[in-house]
């Protein structure tokens, strides 16, 4: 009788040991699976996919400090393109100027109001004139705050009888603001000033 009891006790210990090992293995496997899942989720969250022309392009998210010069220059470029790209259509002019004024402070509005009072925009409409801008370079000082910039560009003024090429040099300062639909970069141009805007050449059409 006693050998049977000892055999039952030994069998019970083996079953208990096996059960403990199975539970420990299951817990270890679960922990490893959760860790791998967390790593995969973190990797996915650092990626953004953009759909362009029917193709999915991967964009990797990064710290804003890494992209600050690129975003700042694009903000300056966008402002100048909106402000100086004009066509003989009042709706186009108003739309572009409105978008530009979201990106700058009252200094840009004062420039706009001066041009408007001098009949610049009405002259574009009545004269069937188009104005285009090409940004040549943007110099940005990242060591100070607000950040100083100087923009070098070329304007093309297309008239019915002539094509005028003008130089354009502007300066201003950039400060950080909150991002929005109207200001996706989160910057505001301050103390914007036109330093040079003279004719380079005039061609007959």
Domain shared by 6 and 96, yes or no: no
Partnered with residue 163 across adjacent β-strands are 158, 203
Domain shared by 114 and 35, yes or no: no
| pLDDT tens digits in sequence order for the chain, 205 residues long | 445 556 667 777 777 888 888 888 888 888 888 888 888 777 666 666 666 556 666 665 555 566 889 999 999 999 999 999 999 999 999 999 999 999 999 999 999 999 999 999 999 999 999 999 999 999 999 898 999 999 999 999 999 999 999 999 999 999 999 889 899 999 999 999 999 999 999 999 8
**Number of domains the chain contains:** 2
CATH number at residue 159: 3.10.450.230
Domain shared by 94 and 164, yes or no: yes
Phi, psi values for residue 31, rounded to 5°: -60, -40
Domain that holds residue 36: 2-48
Q: pTM (2 decimals)? A: 0.70
Domain shared by 128 and 77, yes or no: yes
């Amino acid at each position: 009788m006693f050998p049977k009891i000892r055999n039952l006790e030994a069998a019970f210990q083996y079953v208990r040991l096996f059960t403990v090992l199975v539970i420990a293995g299951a817990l270890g496997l679960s922990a490893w699976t959760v860790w791998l899942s967390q790593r995969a989720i973190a990797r996915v969250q650092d990626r953004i996919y953009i759909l362009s022309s029917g193709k999915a392009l991967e964009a990797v998210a990064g710290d804003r400090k890494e992209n600050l010069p690129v975003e700042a220059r694009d903000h300056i470029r966008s402002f100048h393109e909106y402000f100086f790209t004009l066509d003989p259509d009042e709706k186009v002019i108003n739309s572009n100027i409105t978008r530009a004024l979201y990106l700058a402070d009252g200094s840009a509005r004062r420039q706009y109001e001066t041009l408007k009072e001098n009949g610049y925009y009405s002259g574009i409409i009545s004269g069937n004139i188009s104005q285009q801008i090409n940004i040549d370079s943007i110099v940005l000082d990242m060591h100070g705050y607000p950040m100083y910039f100087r923009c070098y560009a070329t304007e093309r003024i297309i008239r019915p009888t002539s094509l005028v090429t003008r130089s354009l040099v502007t300066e201003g300062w950039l400060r950080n603001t909150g991002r929005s639909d109207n200001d996706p970069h989160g910057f505001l141009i301050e103390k914007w000033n036109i330093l040079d805007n003279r004719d380079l050449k005039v061609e007959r059409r």
